[in-house]
Each structure stands twice: as C-alpha cells, then as structure tokens.
Structure 1
Amino acid sequence: MTRQAWAGTVDDGAADARPEGGRWAAARINLRTLNTIRWIAIAGQTVTLLTVEDLVGIDIPLLPALAVTAVSLLINLYAVARRRRSPFLTERGAVLFLGYDTVQLTVLLMLTGGLENPFAVLVLAPLMVGASMLGRRLVTGLTTLTTACLTLVWVLAMPLSWPTSNGVTLSPIYLGGIWAALTLSAIFIATYVYKVAQSGRDLSQALIASQVSLARAQKASALGALAAAAAHELGSPLGTIAVVAKELARDMPPDSPWVEDIQLLQSQSDRCRVILADLARRPDAEGEMEPYAPLGPVQVIEAVAAPHRRADVALEITVTGAEEGAASPLPLSPELQHGLGNILQNAMQFATTRVDVTLHCDPSALVLTVADDGPGFPVSLLERLGEPYVSDRDERLEQVPVRAGGGGTMGLGLFIAQILLERTGAVVSYANGRPGSTPVGAGAHVTVNWSGPLPAAQ
C-alpha cells in the first residue's frame, strides 16, 4: 500500500518558508566578487612594487616580491576558469580564498619592511570582506589567522632600507604599539562588520518568511473559495446521483446481489452531501461564531478520531508530563477538527494494526505525536510534505496497490491541514520511525507542537 493519501491529505510554521534559511553556513558566495577584489589587489601590489624604488628610493627584494604577486595572479586565473563551472563558493571555499589573501599580504609585508610599511593596514582588508559574508565560527578563525600573521610580521619582517639622507628608525616600542593597534582593529572590525551583516541577513530572512507566509495565506484563501465553488457546482450532480440511487433501491429485488452496493452508494452520496454542505456553509452563519467549549486534550483526540475509527485498528492514547486533569484545555475548533482529523484519518487508513497518539503536556507546551504502523512516508517526499500538489505517484504507484478511497495525490489536504493547525499556533513536522524503536516501528510519525500560548488561550 502506497503512502499517497498521506501526501495528499494531511507542515513547521516558520519552516514552511524554509528561508530557510536555514543555516548561514550553507550560503553560497559569489566568486566573481572575490575575483574582482583580488584583481584590484594584484594591480595595486604590482604598481607599488615597480615604482616604490624610483619614487621613494627604498631598496626592496623586487623579484621575490613580484614572485609572490605572480602566484596570486595564477591562482586568480584558475579561480576565473573555475567560475565558469561553478560561479559560487561555499563558506569553506570563501574562507580558504580570503585566508590565502591574508597569508599572501603577510609574506609581502615581511619582504617589504613589516609594520614599518605604511600599507600594513591592508592586511585587514580580507578580514573585513570575510566578516561581511561568513558565519561566526569562520569569522573567528579568520580573525585568529590575521592576528597570527600580524604577529609574524612584527617579529620576523625584514626592515626597510631607507635612503641615508632621510632614513627613519622606528623603536621596537612604537612597532609594538602598531601591532597592538592593528590587532585590536582586526578584532573590532571583525565583530562590528559581522554584527551589521548578520542584522541585514536576519532582516532579509524575516522579510522572506513573511512573504512566504503571506503567499501561503493567499493560497489557503483561494482554496477556501475553490471549495465553496466546488460545493455549489457539485450539489446538482450529487442530487441526481442520490435520486437515481433511491430509485434503483426501490426497484431492486430484496434478494438481488446488488442491494448492498446500492445501499453503499446511497450512504456515500448522503455523506458527500453533508461534507459539501459543511464546505459551503458561511462562517458568519447563525451559531457559527459561538465559542467552542474547551475540552481536555484526550477528549479532543477521541472526539476528532471518532468518525475515522476502524474496527481492525487499535487507537492507543498516552499522556505524559502533566496529569490529564492539569493539562491545558483545547477548544474543539474547526481548525483542530479538520487539521487533526485529517492526520488521524490517514493514520487509521494506512495503519496495519494500531495507531499511537502521544500527548506530552506541561504548563507552557503541548506536543502531540500521531504514529501508525503503516508503510511510512516516501523518503524523497519528506522535505516537501506540507506543500500543495505533492505526489509520490511516480515513485510508489507500482509498488503496492492504493487503498480504495485513499484520496488523491495532489497534496492539497496535507497543505490545508497544516495551514489550519498553524492558525492555532502549532508547528507540524513529519518523520518515519525506526524499526523496533516504538511499537509501531517504521511507520509515519506526525508531530504537532504548541509552544507558548496554547490554542485555548489565543
């Protein structure tokens, strides 16, 4: 039996946006930007090395210094060629790129006077670039590397050969002061630039999350209008089916083998009529705005699961944490009825022998887990559950027959159920169990987590 109805019938509030966001370490950094910065550095270094002796009269080891610059030139040419295949770097690649620039500047400074060189401050440039785009751990590592390089420049650099007429000799104490100033500057720049950049990233991700939430709300509203329109359009053909079924039942001999089928057709058409009437009902209809009486969490589960119970599937409800009497009550609202009802219906439908519902209650949170011993979710769809029009048709259709009445594979039910539960402040997540880890084994696990204000208090 495929898990199609799971994907088609039953998502993490903010995780729906998946701006994911997620970890900044997974960000991708434009290689073109780093290439351009390095080209500017190579050009400036080359011009300075070729003109400093004539303009200032300082004797420097020109060939070794040019060789260091030439290595950067070759590496940057390789990076440009690589950019055609992959125009982005991971954070790890970017920190290696900037770390090399720091080391290259360090070697140049050691050949050209160290901290006596007025261009020593440029060793902070790669750190500033890195702090604007890397994560905290890598920025800390790059700051440590920069500090170590400044220390090497202070201790091991070759002194400048000033002309005799206007030579300058800096005292070790003054050079130590320059080292301390540059080191403190490195720490300050790294901290400040990282904080400013992180604030910008957080704001951008919050904007993305709000845009995605708005888009999801618009989709849910459109689906509600579609449901009302569908209920209206389907009313006439469903009425015709009911009339024909009634006439067939009246004309059918009592001993006919088709009697049970006709009765099933009548009962299902009546059920469809009730469902369509519920979909078409206006939210401001009489009595619709009355508050729903709060019930204990176990009572809510039992009430929601009642229409979907199967005689051959056991429903086990377990409460952990607070005692049931002390658990915060929940209103039996339409969101809970339809959202949890969808989850429980599909758990019952795909379970082999049992469905386990676990409630963990404490004063500030309620965690509900629904697990069944069925086939579980297709692994390839786990990350996409909660999105509309998700289907495992191609992957699973040929493996096991679909249960009759299992529903479609468009994923709208899962999307709608999650939207409804999120309106109550819940976060929904999906997983498959591990064989032998629980009584239901490797079946599907759906977790609904209310933290902070519970639905009854909202």
Structure 2
Amino acid sequence: MITTPDATLQFGPSSRRLRLQTLVWLRWLAVAGQSLTVILVDFWLEFPLPFTTCAALIGALAVANFVLSASFPPTYRLEPLAAFAVLSLDLLQLAALLYITGGLANPFAPLICVPVIISFASQPLRHAVALFILAVLFVSALAFSPYPLPWYGGDAPFLQPIMQVGVWVAITSMMAFAAFYAYRVSQEATLLADALSATELVLQREKHLSQLDGLAAAAAHELGTPLATISLVAKEMERELGQDERFGEDVQLLRSQSERCRDILKRIATLPSESEAHMRRLPLSSLIEEVLAPHREFGIKLELVEKSDRAREPVGVRNAGILYGLGNLIENAVDFAREKVVVTVEHDASRVVVTIEDDGVGYSPDVMQRIGEPYVTSRQRDDKAGGLGLGLFIAKTLLERSGARLRFENRGPETPGARVEIIWPRNRMESNPA
C-alpha cells in the first residue's frame, strides 16, 4: 500500500541549479544602475569622481556578461562551483567600485550583500558560506579605502574610526541576517516542492492501478482484428491439411489455440462493462476494510468500530488519494502501537468521520507543533519512535485534496497514545473522483 518515490529521482537543492539567464538579467540591471549613478554623480552633481576607472569596471562587468550570454544558451543552468565563480566576480567588481568611491562612506556600500543573498537562496551551503566570508573580507577592505567620497568642492565627509566600525558591523550583520533568512526560506520551499512532487508521483501510481482494466480492454480491442485473421487462415489450412499426416495435428492445434485466444480477449473486452461499476463505486465500509486488510498481519490487533448503520452509509467513487492517505495513517498507527489500533467510523446526513487511535506513546510536544510538515523525522525527539515524515505529509495532502479536515492529538494521560480524526463533508465523500 505504501510506496516511495524512485531513488533515481533527484530531489533537494542539487536538482535546482541556478539558471544563467537569471544572473545575466541581474547583471544587466547592475550595469544600468551603476552607469546611471556614475553619470549623475559626475555630470549632474559635478562631484570629483575617478570616472575613467569607474567606467572601466562597469565596462568589464558588461563585457563579461555579454560573453556569458553569447557562450551559453538562455536555459543553461550553472553548476554550484561555476555559480560561485560568477557571483564572486560580481562581488569583486562591486567592491572595487566602492573602494575607489569612498569605501564604507559610500551610501551604496550595503549593496555588497546582494550576491551573498542570491548565493544563500540558490546554492549549496558550503559555497554560500565561502562567498559570505569573501564578502566580509571585501567589506573589511573597504574600511581602509584611501579614496574620499565624491563631494562638493572635494571636502568629503570624514568617518571617525568608531563610525567606520559601526558601518562595518551594520553591513556584516545585515548580510548575515538576510543570508540566513534567504537560506531558510529557500530550504523550506525546496522541501515543500520535493514533497509535493513525491505526492504527485504516489497519486499517479495509485491511479495507474485503477486504469489497468481500461488498458486491458484497449489491448483486447486492438488484438481482435489480427487474431480474427489468424483464425480465418487457420480454418483454411485445416480444411486443406486436416488429413495430412505431417501437418494435420499441428494445424488443428493452431486453430484450437486461436479460438482460445479469441475467448480470452472476449472476456477481457467485456471486463470494464461487467466490473467497472463494482470497481469504481465503493461503500464506506468496503473502503475501510480495503485499507485495513494489508495491516492485519503485523502482530497488532486492528479493531473496527462502526457507530452508524451500514444501510445508510455513503457510497462514493474509488479515490486513490483517500485509499493511500488512510492506509498511511493506519500504517503509522500500527508502527507506533503497543498492542492495538482502533479505527472508528461514523456518519450522518452531513459528515463522515474516521478516527484512528493507537496505544503507543503519542506525539511529543515539539512534533505536535509541526505535524504534517515534510520530513518531520519522528514522534519523539530521541528518534526512537520511527519515521513520521514525508509519508505523513503525502497522506495529509491527499486527504485534504479530497475535502477532508485532519486533527492530530494525544488521547490523554490516562489512555496514552495518538489519535487522528479525519472529517469529510458527506457530499464530498460521496462524489470524489478517482
């Protein structure tokens, strides 16, 4: 019942390399911004500025960007080491530009954080940390810049040493905080995207099982015509060679086997019309029994309590997501239970409720706060209780897609164990598609 994604599928940061086109566009934006700033400072404000050197640095960035654009297709994705090299070059160019225009006194000095933030949002941690260290070294070098800030009449503001230290601390701390924030957000987004991909894969596999009868019918239909031709030829051969001592028995065998194949294909072709309604329409009691059946042989007692009359139970359409989701929750309950798991089913005119209870240790407080997130590794902090991560996230996601609300809680101090309550509006339970 419970399946996992193929090991060959790539999940995690390694499967999300930075696209070169993204860096190219960011670089062109940097070139435009730096050019506009230098032109305004030199020609409009008429501040003394090493214009030629600034233009050379900006031009070098533009040339490097043009070379990258011409050498690789727009969809090319950079390896982590290549991305580190590109971002390091951006960092060096910006630091050099700031160094000759006042160092830490330059109001644009905090922009040195941008390449670091990009790295922490998209690159492996070791490369991002290396770039952060490099940025801290560049910021430290800016504090010793001998070049004054471009200002009126050359009388540039002078930063006292204590102010230099303050600016250095401000930029470094801002860079560290922004980098950490970008890394955490990126990691959570990556985990969520991977978990949803695994969810789609599981649901797709479950749906394939329900489509086998249709595929069999299609195969029977396609094979019918060539088999009819074979049968016709076999009859003609039998008429001509039926009494032949060498080939008579073989021809009769060929015809009998072709007739047998026709009978088999006829039964397969009628399978959907005979059993599709039975397979697709599933009463609630049959659904629960189908989910419980694979877990009865693990030494844990499975007790089913039906509080409502079966005569008025909902009858819905077979839903692979519901079957997988309930199966995963029951499997978790069996894994954590000491002796018994109780599944309680009740329904009325407005809702359907399935409650799964085990007599294990229950959920620890830290896990209870994060239940249903991808890769919550265990119920207990010491990791002795077993896995409770991606599978539970997939189950929760699939059940919520079917219209259910889930509530996870502990049973109480007198009756230890965990309880999961799944509640559907009755109309959603009766009309869910497969």
Q: Normalising by structure 1, report the TM-score.
A: 0.48
Q: CA deviation at 1:122?
A: 1.4
Q: Counterparts of 1:158-173 in structure 2 under 5 Å? A: 158-160=147-149, 168-173=157-162
Q: CA deviation at 1:120?
A: 0.9
Aligned to 1:14: 5
**Partner AA of 1:123 in structure 2:** I
Q: CA deviation at 1:192?
A: 1.1
Of 103, 117, 123, the residue aligned with 2:112 is 123
**Deviations, residues 429-448 of structure 1 (Å, cap 9, x unaligned):** xxxxxxxxxxxxxxxxxxxx
Aligned to 2:403: none
Q: Counterparts of 1:54-203 in structure 2 under 5 Å? A: 54=46, 59-82=48-71, 85-86=73-74, 88-91=76-79, 92-156=81-145, 158-160=147-149, 168-203=157-192
1:29 maps to 2:20: yes
Distance 2:156 2:65 in 1: 37
Q: CA deviation at 1:113?
A: 2.1
CA contact (8 A) 1:38 1:76 kept: no
Distance 2:293 2:208 in 1: 29
Distance 2:14 2:74 in 1: 21
1:42 maps to 2:34: yes
In structure 2, do the counterparts of structure 1 residues 268 and 28 end up closer, same or farther at CA, with 3 Å as the change threshold? farther
**Deviations, residues 171-207 of structure 1 (Å, cap 9, x unaligned):** 3222112212211211111121233234445545555
Q: CA deviation at 1:260?
A: 3.9
| Greater Cα offset, 239-248 or 69-78 | 239-248
Distance 2:178 2:292 in 1: 58
In structure 2, do the counterparts of structure 1 residues 246 and 78 end up closer, same or farther at CA, with 3 Å as the change threshold? closer
**Deviations, residues 393-421 of structure 1 (Å, cap 9, x unaligned):** xxxxxxxxxxxxxxxxxxxxxxxxxxxxx
Q: CA deviation at 1:121?
A: 0.9
- Tell me, which stretches of 5 or more residues in structure 1 are unaligned? 1-11, 296-324, 329-362, 365-450, 454-458
Distance 2:88 2:77 in 1: 14
Aligned to 1:386: none
In structure 2, do the counterparts of structure 1 residues 250 and 189 end up closer, same or farther at CA, with 3 Å as the change threshold? same
CA contact (8 A) 1:53 1:60 kept: no
Distance 1:138 1:187 in 2: 15
**Partner AA of 2:185 in structure 1:** V
Q: Counterparts of 1:401-412 in structure 2 under 5 Å? A: none
Distance 1:24 1:169 in 2: 48
In structure 2, do the counterparts of structure 1 residues 222 and 153 end up closer, same or farther at CA, with 3 Å as the change threshold? same
CA contact (8 A) 1:109 1:157 kept: no
Which SS does the other structure have where 1:88 is aligned?
coil
Higher relative contact order (CA 8 A, sep 6+): 1
**Partner AA of 1:190 in structure 2:** A
Distance 1:46 1:111 in 2: 12
Q: CA deviation at 1:280?
A: 4.0
- Tell me, which stretches of 5 or more residues in structure 2 are unaligned? 281-285, 301-333, 336-389, 393-434
Count of aligned residue pairs for this structure pair: 290
In structure 2, do the counterparts of structure 1 residues 26 and 112 end up closer, same or farther at CA, with 3 Å as the change threshold? closer
In structure 2, do the counterparts of structure 1 residues 27 and 222 end up closer, same or farther at CA, with 3 Å as the change threshold? farther
Q: Counterparts of 1:213-252 in structure 2 under 5 Å? A: 224-231=213-220, 248=238, 252=242
Which SS does the other structure have where 2:246 is aligned?
coil
In structure 2, do the counterparts of structure 1 residues 279 and 187 end up closer, same or farther at CA, with 3 Å as the change threshold? farther
Aligned to 2:249: 259
CA contact (8 A) 2:110 2:171 kept: yes
Distance 1:132 1:214 in 2: 30
Distance 1:191 1:99 in 2: 19
In structure 2, do the counterparts of structure 1 residues 326 and 180 end up closer, same or farther at CA, with 3 Å as the change threshold? same
**Partner AA of 1:88 in structure 2:** Y
Which SS does the other structure have where 1:54 is aligned?
coil
**Deviations, residues 320-361 of structure 1 (Å, cap 9, x unaligned):** xxxxx9999xxxxxxxxxxxxxxxxxxxxxxxxxxxxxxxxx
Aligned to 2:351: none
CA contact (8 A) 1:30 1:88 kept: yes
Which SS does the other structure have where 1:118 is aligned?
coil
Q: CA deviation at 1:127?
A: 2.3
Distance 2:222 2:125 in 1: 57
Same amino acid, percent of matched pairs: 26
**Partner AA of 1:184 in structure 2:** S
Q: CA deviation at 1:157?
A: 5.0
| Greater Cα offset, 33-42 or 282-291 | 282-291
Q: CA deviation at 1:136?
A: 3.2
**Partner AA of 1:185 in structure 2:** M
**Deviations, residues 371-409 of structure 1 (Å, cap 9, x unaligned):** xxxxxxxxxxxxxxxxxxxxxxxxxxxxxxxxxxxxxxx
Q: CA deviation at 1:146?
A: 1.3
CA contact (8 A) 2:242 2:251 kept: no
Which SS does the other structure have where 2:46 is aligned?
helix
In structure 2, do the counterparts of structure 1 residues 28 and 266 end up closer, same or farther at CA, with 3 Å as the change threshold? farther
Which SS does the other structure have where 1:170 is aligned?
coil
Which SS does the other structure have where 1:44 is aligned?
helix
Distance 1:280 1:251 in 2: 34
Distance 2:62 2:391 in 1: 56
RMSD between superposed Cα atoms in Å: 5.1
Q: CA deviation at 1:226?
A: 4.1
**Deviations, residues 191-225 of structure 1 (Å, cap 9, x unaligned):** 21233234445545555665666667777766632
Distance 1:64 1:242 in 2: 88
Which SS does the other structure have where 1:139 is aligned?
helix
CA contact (8 A) 1:249 1:262 kept: no
Q: Normalising by structure 2, report the TM-score.
A: 0.50
